[in-house]
Structure 1
């Protein structure tokens, strides 16, 4: 499947996608990093001994593996120096550098995710902000920075996403009907599960004929198309030029251009009045300090009695608070400026803005399966992805991202929810 790639010729695409490889730092080699590395090794091996995994150090390691997933550390000095100096950023960069691998990457990561609050002793957690990097100011989600943050991920290449997503080009959790169905779902069922997820969200927002819909975060247009097919008029806003171009083309091809408008616009600058506001996994890119503004904007734009239906990735509230402003591997390489909220934080911000919380639906295990299908598809399509100009470091980076995310949902550390809010009629 080939999709339009507006202003990114192949030479520029190659430069953009190879940037992570060129920017990947060498393992630190200072005396301080050596001491930190030694301490990290003691802590890591103490933790790993209690987990249902095997850690070995290459072909000469003779320890019994059994049926447990195996993490093979081929360059332990570099591996522990990176972790000791940069924490989870170092873990991801070490994988990108090929300093460790796994026969079952998700299987290795899940036990760590299940114990994420206790892996690091409380005394060291309190020193997190002193020892580890903090978020750069130029990644804060101000009006000036947000478009750049979004572009770094979503404008990589429409062709890249088309090669590992299903035909709907929906880049968010599917809904397979039940956890049991999610567990056995196959690739061929993914597109139908994505459409079912969108329909559930539109039902939450009571979208039908004549409904004025605002979509915050366009994606590649599937939700706007399905809303318009119900007879709604849709205004969708995005900061991704690539996504906007593709969504507009799909609207034209479906003869729905008269019902769908897609603007390259920050959500804070939207005007008008809408019966329903829908948003799919966009709030994670808003930033914690801007959640009040986000919900105030939604409240301002909704007509009295209007509904907001939001799909969001969530984490436990205590973990959200303890990890706030921590600069992570995901921030550095995948989603700059992002912050996963808790359900409590969203409900509080919405209530402060004058929105009434009305309903919630949780389906985190469906995201674990969605990510597994994406990861398998990405790996199977790698030769075609490489032909787009993406290199081996990008491959390892993207594989780690998908597996790391899948492990978070499989461990139930992360969840995904549909939330509905209502604006008072008064």
Structure 2
């Protein structure tokens, strides 16, 4: 079908945002689908308690192209329409939460392909200037643990997915210490820096990082975790496949006087081969990487961690997982992140992670710490920080479309956490055949 560029998108960079500037031209079939999409959207908003009209609407439709995009692309079209400024919401997170909660299914005909990625899935990290706009310390964008959360721990018998489990010397089950943190109380933006420090310390504790330990952080989370590990008396190697990120980490480590203890390196590929990197480590730290790699990438990543961990060593791994309530609507809603930010985005369940680790590596998960409510507050603060830095984002070269996309990205993840469709967890892994330190 023919496309055209609406007047309100004439100033959008067509090379950077091709899907946004090209809208299907009206016609008999297009108009019919558009009217259907408009009706479904109105019904979903009514069901969800979202006001579309009146003196104080929750959602204001600025351009009718919203409904064309809904008919064409479903949830991706809804996001792209927001990026194009075709609709606004007084509370974007609340609106997305209500639409997801009402199981809104626009039934678009395409789900999207990768158009432009802030992180390309080839080992490159988010740009340092973008991370700075969303963080307190200027280098970290991982979820934090706030002080007011109360932990409850239960030792749970967990099924083993190792081949031959239940026969011979391989037990059918093993014990996992499952800790759940209660929701934080009275969280403010000023608490976020300490919360990220607390999350980093928790990961270091999970990996038993102490005096004299050889530690690997792979990939780098910006320098904060490596710096805290060095403060415990550990020697830290930091691996990244992004040369620009290595430079940023080196600057951070130099400014904090830890160059004798923290050593950043750039890899030639996202996952180091045995020939490129022969280091073996007592402790490995991984922060929010596994979910962006896809299944095959996650397998390659786990095998790399397995190879680089000493027998009896420990891994502290922080990641976001899907819960049992995560379904097709949640998956469709995330299509915008796969299209524009993380092409291989895939949230496994916690059982799926146990299965993956048992079947694809010589590792085993022995502890879980769940902190979804804390992660939700982290996302809210990161979104608010970015919104407060919109002028700086513009000065850094992020155009209005990108800025709206980045706000939408935070709001969407917030909505999925609010509904309990996503959960954040810190895992402790060790070698299955281990001896020594624990």
Aligned mates of 2:201, 2:247 — CA distance in 1: 23
Residue by residue over 1:253-273, the C-alpha shift from the partner in whole angstroms, topping out at 9 and shown as x without a partner, is 333222222122223434321
Aligned to 1:166: 136
* More deviation, 30-39/297-306: 30-39
Q: TM-score, normalised by structure 1?
A: 0.81
Structure 2 residue corresponding to 1:154, chosen from 111, 121, 126: 126
Which residue of structure 2 aligns with residue 291 of structure 1? 298
Deviation of 1:36 after TM superposition, in Å, equals 2.9
Partner of 2:59: 71
| Structure 2 runs not aligned, ≥5 long | 1-12, 150-181
Q: Contact 1:287/1:338 (CA < 8 Å) preserved in 2?
A: yes
The equivalent of 2:227 in structure 1 is 225
Kindly report which structure 2 residues correspond to 1:48-59, keeping only aligned pairs within 5 A, or say none: 48-56=45-53
* Stretch of structure 1 that moved more, 92-101 or 164-173: 164-173
SS in 2 for 1:55: coil
Aligned twin of 1:25: 21
Q: Which residue of 2 aligns with 1:216?
A: 218
2:34 aligned counterpart, secondary structure? helix
Q: CA deviation at 1:390?
A: 2.5
Change in Cα spacing, 1:320 to 1:243, as seen in structure 2 (3 Å) is farther
If the length of structure 2 is used for normalisation, what is the TM-score? 0.79
Q: Which has the larger helix fraction?
A: 1
* C-alpha spacing 1:198/1:23, structure 2 compared with 1 (3 Å): same
CA shift in 2, pair 1:367/1:318, >3 Å: closer
What is the CA-CA distance between 1:53 and the residue it aligns to? Answer: 2.0
Distance (Å, rounded) in 1 between the aligned partners of 2:138 and 2:391:
22
- Retained in 2: the 8 A contact 1:183–1:369? no
Match of 1:359 among 367, 373, 376: 367
Aligned mates of 1:225, 1:271 — CA distance in 2? 23
Number of equivalenced pairs: 382
Rounded to whole Å, the distance in 2 between the matches of 1:163 and 1:364 is 23
Unaligned runs of 5+ in 1: 1-16, 57-61
- CA distance, structure 2, for counterparts of residue 324 and residue 408 of structure 1: 10
Looking at structure 1, the residues matched to 205 and 19 of structure 2 have their Cα atoms a distance apart, in angstroms, of 44
- Secondary structure of residue in 2 paired with 1:172: coil
What is the CA–CA distance in structure 1 between the aligned matches of 2:327 and 2:31, rounded to whole Å? 31
Are 1:373 and 2:381 matched, yes or no?
A: yes
Q: State whether residues 291 and 346 of structure 1, in contact with CA within 8 Å, keep that contact through their aligned partners in structure 2.
A: no
Deviates more, 1:100-109 or 1:310-319: 310-319
SS in 2 for 1:395: helix
Post-superposition Cα deviations, 1:99-151, rounded to whole Å, max 9, x if no partner, equal: 11011111111122335xx4339xx6xxx8xx323656999x9xxx732xx54
